[in-house]
Chain A
C-alpha cells in the first residue's frame, strides 16, 4: 500500500514537471500533498502514534487546504498570464525527470543497507520530488511557480524525514510546518508587490542588478 502511494507521488512529480499552466501546477501540488497525508495517516495507524496523527492533521490543513487555496486565490487575483513560459519543453522535462529518478535510485542504493528495499524506494521518491521541485524553480521562471517549486522541494524533504529517519522530533516537525506557512505568506506578499510594481511576475525578467 505504501509502495503504491510512493509511486503515485513520483508520478505526480512528473505531472508537475510537465505542467504548462500555473493552475494545474497548484492542483498537482494539492494532489501530492494529499498523497503525503494518506501516507502519514497510514504510518500513524500502524504505529498507533498520537504525534503522527497530529502531524497528518496539520499536513492536511496546511498543505492540502490552506496553502493551495492561498496560491489559487493569488492566481485568480493578479490575473497573471496563465502560461508558465517553459524554458525547457515538456518532452525534455519528462526525460530529465526520469533521469532524476535513475540518479536518485543509484544514490539511495549507496546510502540504504541492502536488506531494506522499501526504504530505498522511499529515498528514491523523496529525492526525485526534491529534484523536481528544484527543476521547477530553475526552469519555470515565474514568481508563483518558484513558490510552488519551493513547496514541492519541501514535500520531498518531508517524505524523506517520514520514511527514513522515522519522522523528526515532534516539535521540530511542527516548527517546520509553521515555517513553511510563514514563507508562503511572505512569498505571496512579495509576489503582490512585484506584480504591482513591475506589472508582471516573470522572475526571468528581474535582471536589473548585475555584476
Chain B
C-alpha cells in the first residue's frame, strides 16, 4: 500500500498551490515534491522489476515493470519541468504577462496534469485507463491555451477536439475487447490482469478489429501520423515547461496504452505478426511526414514537435520489429527521448523568451547572447538526433541492429535514410540559429539557477544512461524483455 504515495504527492502539491500565493515557495515546493516522486518511482521500479512483485490495491491499481518504467519517465520530466518552471513563471510575472492568481492556477493544473498521467500508468481497469487518458487531454488543454492568445486558443480547440474524437474510437475498441471477454465466458470486468489471463480464449476476429480502433484512437493521442494534426499546434503554443511534458510524457502514456492492448492481442493471436505489421506501417508513415515537415520548418517549437512525431515513429518501428534487442532499444529510447526533448523545449523556451518570436529565420547568434542556453541547446540537438555518446544513439542503434537481425532490410534501411535526412535538416536549421551575430544591442543574459540545474540534470541523464548501457547490456536486454513481455 505504500506505493499510494505517488498519488498523494501531486494531490498535496495541488492543495498547496490552491492556498499559497508566494510563487517562489510554490516553485520550490514542487521541485522538492517531484524529487520525492522520482525516489518513490525508483523504489517501485526496483520492487517490480528486480523482486518481481506486482503491486496492487483495491482491485483498482496495478503496477508491474511496465507501469514502473513509465512512472519513472513521468517523474523525471515532472521534476525537471518543475525546476525549470520556477524561473520561467517568475519571468512572466515580472513582465506582467501572468498575474499571481494565474500562476497559482498554472501550478494547480500542472499537478492535476501529472496526477492524471500517473493514474494512466497505474490503473488496472482498461475503462479507467480510458477515462484517465481523456482527463489528461482535458487538463492539458487549459495549459495549451494558457496565454489566451488567438493562436493558443486555436491550438487548444484543435487539440481537445481531435484528441477527443480519437479517444472515443479507443473507447469503442475497449468495449469490443470487453465484448470478446464476455463471449469467451470471462467475468464482467475490464481489468487488464483478467483480460490477459483469458487472452487465449478470446475471439481472434474481434481482437483484430478492436485493436485497430485502439491503435487509431490512442495513436491519435500518441501523435502517430496521419492523426498527428493537433500535435504541432499544441506543442508550439503551450508554455515551454508544458511542451516538455506533452512531448516527453503525454505521448508516451498513449504509447503505454497501445503496448498494454498489444500484449493482449499478441497473446490472443498467438503470434506477434499482426501487431508488428500495423506498428511498422504507422512508424514509417510517422518518419516520412516528420522528415518532410522538419526540412521545410520555420518555427522553432513546431520543428521540435515534428521531431516528437519522428521519435514516436522510431518507437513504433522498434515495437514492430520486436524481440529482446528491439525492446531494450524502445525502452531506452522512450526514457531518453523524454529527457532530450525536455532539454530542447526548455532551451527553446529560453530562446523564444529572449528573442520574442518562434521564427528560426529571425533568430541569430543564440550562443553569443545566451552562452549557457546556446551550448546546452547545441548538445541537446546532438543528443536528439542520435549522436554518440548520448543514449539516443545507442537506442537507435539497438533498433537498427534488431531490424537487420530480423531480416527487415527495407524497413531498417528506410529508418536509416530518414534518420540521416532529419539529422542534416536539424543541424542545418540550428546551425543558422545558434551561431552568427546576435542582433545589435541585445544584452547577454544569465539563466536562473533552477533552469540551469534542469539542463545539467537532463544532460547528465542522457549521457550517463547511454554510456552505462555498454556495461550492463546483457542483463538490460533480459530486463527489457521481461518488462515488454510478449512483444
Using CB atoms, name the residue of chain A closest to B149.
Answer: A197
B150 to A197, Cβ gap below 8 A? yes
User: In the complex, A198 Cα to B205 Cα: how many Å?
Assistant: 48
Chain B interface helix/strand/loop/mixed: helix
* Partner-contacting stretch, out of B172-180, B449-457, B460-468: B172-180
Pairwise interchain contact A193-B145, C-beta atoms closer than 8 A: yes
- B302 and A137: CB pair below 8 A? no
Q: Check B236 for interface membership: any CB of A closer than 8 A.
A: yes
CB distance from B280 to the nearest CB of A (A): 25
Q: Which residues from chain A contact B236 at a C-beta distance below 8 Å?
A: 209
A211 touches B150 (CB 8 A): no
- Decide yes or no: A190 and B157 within 8 Å by CB, A153-B165, A153-B168, A211-B302 being known contacts: yes
Q: Is the CB of B205 within 8 A of A186?
A: no
Is the CB–CB distance between B190 and A134 below 8 Å?
Answer: no
Smallest Cβ-Cβ distance to A203: which chain B residue? B157
Interface of A is mostly: helix
B172 contacts A130, CB within 8 Å? yes
Contact of A143 with B135 in the complex, beta carbons under 8 Å: no
CB distance from B112 to the nearest CB of A (A): 12
For A153, the closest partner residue in chain B by CB is B168
Q: Which of A169-199 contact B (CB under 8 A)?
A: 169, 171-172, 175-176, 179, 182-183, 186-187, 190, 193-194, 197-198
Q: Which of B198-241 contact A (CB under 8 A)?
A: 205-206, 209, 232-233, 236-237
Residues of A within 8 A of B190 (CB): 168-169, 172
Cα separation A110 to B205 with both chains bound (whole Å): 9
Does any Cβ of A come within 8 Å of B161's Cβ? yes
Chain B: minimal CB distance from A163 (Å)? 10
Q: Find out whether the CB atom of B154 lies under 8 angstroms from the CB atom of A209.
A: yes
Among the 9-residue stretches A60-68, A85-93, A154-162, the one with 4 or more Cβ atoms under 8 Å from chain B is A154-162
Q: Does B56 contact A (CB under 8 A)?
A: no
| In the complex, per-residue mask of A96-116: 1 if CB is within 8 Å of any chain B CB, else 0 | 000000000000001100000
- Once A150-B164, A168-B190, A211-B293 are accepted as A-B contacts, the answer to whether A206 and B154 lie under 8 Å apart by CB is yes
Q: Which residues of A contact B142 (CB under 8 A)?
A: 186
- The answer to whether the Cβ of A164 comes within 8 Å of any Cβ in the partner chain is yes
A186 CB to nearest B CB, Å: 5
Inter-subunit contact B151/A208 (CB<8 Å): yes
B244 at the binding interface (Cβ < 8 Å): no
Chain A residues with CB under 8 Å of B188's CB are 166-167, 169
Docked Cα-Cα span, A130 to B190, in Å, equals 22
- Residues on A with C-beta less than 8 A from B175 are 157, 160-161, 164-165, 168
Least CB distance from B10 to A in Å reads 18
- Distance (Å) between the CB of B450 and the closest chain A CB? 30
Decide if B179 touches A164 in the complex (CB within 8 Å): yes
- Give A49 to B438 CA distance when docked, in angstroms: 72
CA–CA, A186 and B161, complex, Å: 11
Closest residue of chain B to A130 (Cβ to Cβ) is B172
Check A134–B164 contact: CB distance below 8 A: no
A110 CA to B204 CA in the complex, in Å? 12
Within 8 A of B (CB), among A118-165: 130, 134, 137, 143, 146, 150, 153-154, 157, 160-161, 164-165
Question: Does the CB pair A150–B127 fall under 8 Å?
Answer: no
Q: Are B161 and A165 in contact (CB under 8 A)?
A: no
Does B424 count as interface, using CB distance less than 8 angstroms? no
Q: How many of B's residues come within 8 Å of A, CB to CB?
A: 48
Q: In the complex, what's the smallest C-beta–C-beta distance from B389 to chain A, in angstroms?
A: 34
A190 lies within 8 A of B182 (CB): no
A157, A168, A169, A211: which contacts B298 (Cβ < 8 A)?
Answer: A211
Q: Give A109 Cβ to nearest chain B Cβ, in Å.
A: 12
Q: Which residues of A contact B233 (CB under 8 A)?
A: 209
Inter-chain CA distance A198–B188, complex, in Å, is 48
How far apart are B177's CB and chain A's nearest CB, in angstroms?
9
- Asked if B148 contacts A134 (CB within 8 A), the reply is no
Give Cα A157–Cα B178 distance, bound, in whole angstroms. 13
- A157-B127 contact in complex given A143-B157, A206-B154, A211-B297, C-beta closer than 8 Å: no
CB distance from B403 to the nearest CB of A (A): 31
**Structural contact, B179 and A165, CB atoms closer than 8 A:** yes
Chain A positions within 8 Å of B127 at CB level? 168-169, 172, 175-176
CB-CB contacts of B129-160 with A at 8 A, as 1s and 0s? 01100110010011001001011011111101
B189 at the binding interface (Cβ < 8 Å): yes
**Contacts A111-B206, A150-B165, A165-B175 known; A187 to B293 CB distance under 8 Å?**
no
Q: A168-B190, A169-B125, A197-B150 are in contact. Are A190 and B145 (CB under 8 A)?
A: yes
Cβ of A59 to closest chain B Cβ, rounded Å: 16
Given contacts A146-B161, A211-B299, contact A165 B153 (CB under 8 A): no
Q: Closest CB-CB distance, A161 to chain B, in whole Å?
A: 5
Chain A hits for B125, CB < 8 A: 169, 172
Q: Which residues of A contact B (CB under 8 A)?
A: 110-111, 130, 134, 137, 143, 146, 150, 153-154, 157, 160-161, 164-169, 171-172, 175-176, 179, 182-183, 186-187, 190, 193-194, 197-198, 203, 206-209, 211
* Beyond A169-B127, A197-B148, A211-B298, 16 additional pairs, beta carbon < 8 A: A110-B209, A111-B176, A111-B209, A130-B168, A150-B168, A157-B175, A168-B127, A168-B178, A168-B190, A172-B128, A187-B160, A190-B141, A193-B145, A194-B153, A206-B157, A207-B154
Give the top 8 A-B pairs by smallest Cβ distance, nearest first: A172-B127, A206-B154, A175-B131, A209-B233, A165-B178, A165-B179, A161-B175, A153-B168
Q: Could you write out 7 A-B pairs with CB less than 8 Å apart?
A: A153-B168, A172-B190, A176-B127, A193-B145, A194-B153, A207-B154, A211-B302
